[in-house]
């Protein structure tokens, strides 16, 4: 009886993560599954990251893509994927890490799936770098033909970005948009147009929450997100049945980001414009309480919003995480 033992290419994307990258690399080297290729793409680090990576290169499973310039994450991800020789690809950011059985667990699932299944994914754990507290990360349980679910039930969470194991030919069929700094979950919407997803409920990855997470750069992320949504709808293979769900998702995600900015006194003028855009694309949304509250915020002077937020937070004892000032490096 033949054993299913395909090579897996793990792509580690790094930029100035000297503080964490050892744990990321070690978490791959210490996987219970051993048929691995590890491609580390360093995006122009100027801390100790490159030196730390160099110290691992005696292991012939490692391939080091040492870039001098800091370019888009999408470009670096594509470059690494094109170097991959494994049958499957798994992505890891240099400030996160895998649990030991991540690859073995997902390869075993793939061993029983037909080619129409392109992705195996699951939930993750968030590690608060300041407190050491770990907690589950909300993520979608999308399974099977799941494009509509990904759009409709987005409040359950997105695909955890470092969780999926993806067939390499599937991954290469959908190269990331290199004119966008980081495409994010849009890649999985595009894959879901054609392939089935398998959801496994076992947490296999750990993502750090710290002061420099790219995910907290809310304004740039929102702008990139909307570009990806527009391109998704224009895709000739995008099913018509999913269009209403995409439009509804677009309206709700715009509002959600704008509301968070208003409540954290961040980019208030931009947030007000976003809310107006959201309401115009879905006028019925004005029936909701949060939208009515947002409409009131839109009419309040910027300076006054700061004090109103302070009062609301004092009364409700609710603390909002302030987004990062937007950055690309």
Residue range 43-67: mean pLDDT, rounded: 97
pLDDT-based confidence at 34, cuts 50/70/90? very high
Give 221's pLDDT tier (boundaries 50, 70, 90). confident
List own/partner pairs for 227-232 with CB under 8 A and 24 or more apart: 227/177, 227/180, 228/177, 228/180, 228/183, 228/184, 228/186, 228/189, 229/186, 231/177, 231/186, 232/186, 232/189, 232/190
Rounded Cα distance between 223 and 97, Å, is 28
* 45: DSSP letter: -
Site of tokens 């491609």: 39
- The answer to whether the CB of 165 falls within 8 A of the CB of 120 is yes
pLDDT surpassing 70 at residue 284: no
Task: Specify the domain boundaries for CATH 3.90.550.10 within the chain.
Answer: 8-212
DSSP codes of every residue in 155-213: GG----TTS-EEEHHHHHHS---TTSS--TTHHHHHHHTTSEEEE--S--EEEEE-TT-
Contact criterion met (CB below 8 Å) for 78 and 176: yes
C-alpha distances in angstroms, 297 versus 293, 316, 317, 323? 6, 18, 20, 19
Confidence of residue 1 (pLDDT cuts 50, 70, 90): very low
Beta bridge partners of 90: 10, 165
- DSSP state, 324? P
pLDDT at 46 over 70: yes
**H-state helical runs in the chain:** 21-29, 49-54, 73-83, 102-110, 147-152, 168-173, 186-192, 218-234, 243-263, 268-281, 289-299, 302-316
CATH of span 8-212: 3.90.550.10
Q: What is the pLDDT of residues 169-196, one digit of tens each?
A: 999 999 999 998 888 889 999 999 999 9
């Amino acid at each position: 009886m033949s054993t299913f033992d395909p090579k897996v290419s793990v792509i580690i994307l790094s930029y100035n993560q000297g503080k964490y990258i050892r744990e990321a690399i070690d978490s791959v080297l210490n996987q219970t599954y051993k048929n691995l290729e590890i491609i580390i793409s360093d995006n122009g680090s100027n801390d100790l990251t490159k030196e730390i990576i160099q110290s691992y290169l005696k292991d012939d499973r490692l391939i080091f893509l040492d870039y001098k310039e800091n370019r888009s994450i999408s470009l670096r991800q594509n470059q690494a994927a094109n170097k991959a020789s494994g049958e499957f690809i798994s992505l890891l950011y240099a400030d996160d890490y895998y649990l030991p059985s991540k690859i073995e667990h997902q390869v075993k699932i793939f061993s029983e799936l037909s080619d129409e299944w392109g992705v195996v994914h699951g939930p993750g754990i968030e590690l608060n770098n300041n407190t050491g507290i770990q907690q589950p990360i909300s993520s979608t349980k999308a399974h099977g033909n799941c494009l509509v679910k990904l759009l409709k039930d987005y409040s359950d969470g997105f695909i955890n970005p470092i969780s999926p194991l993806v067939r390499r030919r599937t991954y290469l069929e959908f190269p990331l948009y290199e004119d966008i700094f980081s495409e994010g979950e849009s890649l999985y919407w595009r894959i879901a147009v054609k392939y089935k997803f398998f959801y496994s409920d076992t947490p296999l990855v750990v993502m750090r929450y710290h002061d420099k997470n790219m995910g907290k750069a809310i304004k740039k992320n929102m702008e990139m997100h909307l570009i990806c949504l527009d391109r998704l709808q224009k895709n000739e293979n995008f099913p018509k049945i999913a269009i209403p769900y995409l439009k509804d998702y677009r309206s709700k995600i715009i509002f959600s980001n704008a509301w968070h900015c208003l409540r954290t006194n961040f980019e208030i003028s931009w947030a007000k414009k976003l809310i107006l855009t959201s309401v115009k694309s879905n006028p019925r949304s004005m029936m909701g309480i949060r939208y009515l509250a947002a409409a009131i915020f839109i009419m309040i002077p910027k300076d006054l919003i700061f004090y109103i937020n302070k009062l609301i937070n004092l009364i409700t004892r609710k603390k909002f995480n302030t987004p990062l000032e937007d950055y690309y490096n």
